[in-house]
Structure 1
């Protein structure tokens, strides 16, 4: 292999990694993108190079396919890592950021759990989850109720200890917020939990994780469906402590969604 050929391969690998930042662009809409995805699938050496280029940029490749394109996530301390306080700033939330990080973090976990409530959903590439603002809010409140009951049974103080699990420290903040807090102009207030959920769903849509499907005629509210890109990210999320705590609660879901569970960690990743 000549230096020129090696350079061309490296440039192509970097180009494919770059497509991963264009979350809403799919290979079916871009011939160059599709060509690179096919090369990744057919040429193991090129696939290895793509992963190494991504790693050098502080990214990990979660999957590459014609359906989703390339999907990668930021490694810890990467320049591309998006922390919850950054999300709060992007959402232009006016409340104190410490509290909002907690509330929006809970909403993100709830959306993931509702889209993929069973172990088999996480590994089924044909799975498409659906969520609504009201459903996410109801689910989070059911988790809050479960945690409140647990605290009451243990005769704990109203304030959880500093070393309590993440969700046990978070439920107070969400439970004490109103579901809807209209402003004088009859708009949803920033303090309302449904506003928190709406901000979360909008953010996920902006990054190609969800798609807004318009108003559901039965529920008369906006419906969102998950993308394959989101499924790959939830597989990554499933290994986190807070997500596992949420699964361990076994909070009630509707009959059509089944119970919450997660597969063994070794089955959650493609590599």
Structure 2
């Protein structure tokens, strides 16, 4: 069956909204109307999934309060990498710490796969996350993947907190700064929101982050960190 061009155009519009981290669907706005159509029309959903697939994307879900959640296929031009932090100026050890911070946030917020089915709001705080990661890596069994072990060793020997000269908060060169930097990176991608009313280093994780974690659930590194924690 031939799909009308206006449906293909509408599907492409919805994918574009999904790629825009700051876009929020609300009842009656263009994003909200397209999202509701995706959630209620099988034919339109198939068209959106096909358009996304042609761009190297996969639709993970479409929660009403978050919008279309997309992840990338291998080689996609839309792929987002941890190396993109700081404009690509991360050193080798910084990349390991940042990657472990992402896994730590996932394991802290969703300690089991069953938790990924829950939709309650997840609130996280930088210092608590850092303590959680440090406690978990101390319990990691000997052996295992060499890269994971090296990441744990780098994290362990990096100071937990270094104060800034004249401002509150952690300075670059400590793990709390790395955790906060990763959370800021997630905010830019619509996977978290800063919650200054609850504290300067407190964040809310969105459904976008939950679905992204669900997509990587079962990975060896996340499983190991969950088990250790």
Give yes or no for TM over 0.5.
yes
1:132 correspondence with 2:109:
no
Does residue 168 in structure 1 map to residue 149 in structure 2? yes
The corresponding residue for 1:119 is 113
**Superposition deviation, residue 248 in structure 1:** 3.0
8 Å Cα contact 1:88-1:101 kept in structure 2: no
SS of 1:72's partner is: strand
Are 1:166 and 1:242, in contact at CA under 8 Å, matched by a contact in 2?
A: no
Q: Cα deviation per residue 1:117-149 (whole Å; 9 max; x = unaligned)?
A: 23322012x2221110101110111122223xx
Q: TM-score under structure 2 normalisation?
A: 0.90
Asked whether the equivalents of residues 212 and 224 of structure 1 are also in contact (C-alpha less than 8 Å), the reply is yes
The question of 1:33 aligning with 2:36 is answered no
Residues 120-269 of structure 1: matches in 2 within 5 Å? Answer: 120-124=114-118, 126-147=119-140, 150-151=141-142, 164-182=145-163, 184-185=165-166, 188-216=170-198, 221-249=200-228, 251=229
Contact kept, 8 Å, 2:63 with 2:207, in 1: the verdict is no
Where structure 2 has 5 or more consecutive residues not aligned to the other structure, the ranges are none
Q: TM-score, normalised by structure 1?
A: 0.77
CA contact (8 A) 1:210 1:227 kept: yes
Which residue number corresponds to residue 14 of structure 2?
Answer: 16
When structure 1 is superposed on structure 2, of 201-210 and 220-229 the one drifting more is 220-229
- Does 1:45 pair with 2:27? no
1:67–1:227 CA distance, 2 compared to 1 (3 A) = same
- Distance in structure 1 (CA, Å) of the matches to 2:124 and 2:71: 23
- Please tell me whether Structure 1 or Structure 2 has the larger radius of gyration of its CA atoms: 1
- Aligned pairs, how many? 228
C-alpha contact (below 8 Å) 1:178/1:193 kept by paired residues: yes
Q: CA-atom RMSD, angstroms?
A: 2.2
